[in-house]
Amino acid sequence: MDSEKACESHKKRGIILSNMADTPQKLQTPRQTKLIKLLMENYVAENVGKSLGELMIEAGYSVASSKNPQLIMNSETIKEGLADYLSTVDDKRRM
């Protein structure tokens, strides 16, 4: 497979390669993106208080996945997606 076809293949799978020698970095899946958005909205909303499992189902994950949220929440893409938001929240909390 030539490098141009390889790059297209990686793009379709959500992998970014700035240089073919670099380590692939995963993009957030649509479900991960939606879950991160829902987590942030749920955190600031008053009197909503949905559980993590409920938010996962709303984001499109299966009931089985929602019963084991650590499998999703421990992924690097979720952690990275929440890191900036959580640091901002933490900074505000410390004020």
Give this prediction's pTM: 0.63
> What separation in angstroms does the CA of 51 have from each of 8, 42, 48, 72?
38, 9, 9, 14
Eight-class DSSP state of 1 = -
Rounded distance, CA 90 to CA 94, Å? 6
pLDDT digits (tens, 9 = 90+) for 33-85: 999 999 888 877 766 678 999 999 999 999 999 999 999 999 999 998 888 77
